[in-house]
Amino acid sequence: MLSLNAIARSLRVPLLLLACGTLFSNCYSYRIATHAQAGTEFQTTTAHSFFWGLVQKPREISTPICDSLNVNGVAVVQVQNNFGYSLITVLTLGIWSPIKLQWKCGKPCQVNGHL
């Protein structure tokens, strides 16, 4: 007959893997896609909202790679929240709310004619 201590030891690794999987999985994700072809890989940043949205960091997200390509738009935007971010938001009663943002720049237009 297994002791309670032996059972607890045998369940330690599976429970740790389950906890890590839950903490790092996506709770929800929103995706905005346009008809533009993606010209870059995903660029990622984490945005933070403080005091129920009164303070936002960054207030505006710049896209230096898109700007360097002379592209006026993005092809895809994704907003993701995971269990850890949701837990932070709940434990701080909404005082701090992080979220992950990802985007792909649109493909630059081809130049017609001679240079």
Q: Are 55 and 95 in contact (CB under 8 A)?
A: no
Residue 108's pLDDT is what?
72
- The separation between CA 57 and the C-alpha centre of its own chain, rounded to angstroms, equals 15
CA of 37: how far to CAs of 14, 25, 70, in Å?
A: 42, 28, 14
Task: Kindly tell me if the per-residue pLDDT of 19 is higher than 70.
Answer: yes
Q: What is the pLDDT of residues 49-64, one digit of tens each?
A: 999 888 888 787 777 7
Answer for the pair 113, 104: CB distance below 8 angstroms, yes or no. Answer: no
pLDDT over threshold 70, residue 24: no
pTM for this entry: 0.63
